[in-house]
Amino acid sequence: MLNSSENLQNLIAEFANLPGLGRKSAGRLAYFIANAPKERIDSLISAIKNVRDNIKKCKICWTLSDSDICNICSNENRNKKQIMVVENERDMIAYENVGEYKGVYHVLGGAISPLIGIGPNELKIKELISRLKDDIEEVIIATNSSVEGETTATYLAKIIKPFNIKVTRIASGVPIGSDIENVDEVTLLRAFNGRTEL
């Protein structure tokens, strides 16, 4: 794309590299920035910097957190004996928004996908196993209902069972092939209540 400004061209390229942004949306954003008041841009930059500099992974559940232990793991009202295993932070937030689940989480950081070179060692599975040494009553596997998510669920069930811990899988009320973050809350609740033992 031709352009009257190299700086603008670079910004469009940066935006177009972000997930879910095509060339057109990237252009719209860049032109917006180019015409926006300085304070507005400064506020965007400082929000990005704060995430860059201050975000950590919770040392227990591996979700994104402002402190070493996230506010769910450090919440005394959450049931530490119930662990819901999710692929990523967005899936966790999706379940948090339902508001029904009172246990804690474990964020795997993805799902097993040999095609793109993600095996069990690339995920926080060792870290999950190390949490099972406590008096855990149930591990709820809430990976996506995609091929990768199902593979991961089966794998996890197999390695958790020897610990004599109840392993459940959220029900397939979640439409096959869709991402948990995009599913409506009623369906998410249905899937949670209909979970079955593996």
Contact 188, 95 (CB under 8 A): yes
Q: Is the Cβ of residue 19 or residue 117 nearer to a copy of itself in the bound state?
A: 19
* Minimum gap (Å) between residue 177 Cβ and a copy of itself: 18
Query: Residue 133: CB partners within 8 Å, gap ≥ 6?
Result: none
Residue 104 neighbours by CB distance under 10 Å: 23
Q: Is the Cβ of residue 110 or residue 120 nearer to a copy of itself in the bound state?
A: 110
* Minimum gap (Å) between residue 173 Cβ and a copy of itself: 21
Q: Is the Cβ of residue 154 or residue 187 nearer to a copy of itself in the bound state?
A: 187
Q: Is the Cβ of residue 95 or residue 160 nearer to a copy of itself in the bound state?
A: 95
* Minimum gap (Å) between residue 92 Cβ and a copy of itself: 7
For 117, what's the count of Cα atoms within 13 Å in the CB-facing half-sphere?
0
Residue 97 zone, left/alpha/beta (φ > 0; ψ -120 to 50; rest):
alpha
- Tokens at 118, concatenated: 């993600």
DSSP 78: S
Which residues lie near a copy of itself (CB under 8 A)? 1-8, 10-11, 13-14, 18-21, 24-25, 27-35, 38, 41-45, 47-52, 54-55, 58, 63-66, 70-72, 88-90, 92-93, 96-97, 181-182
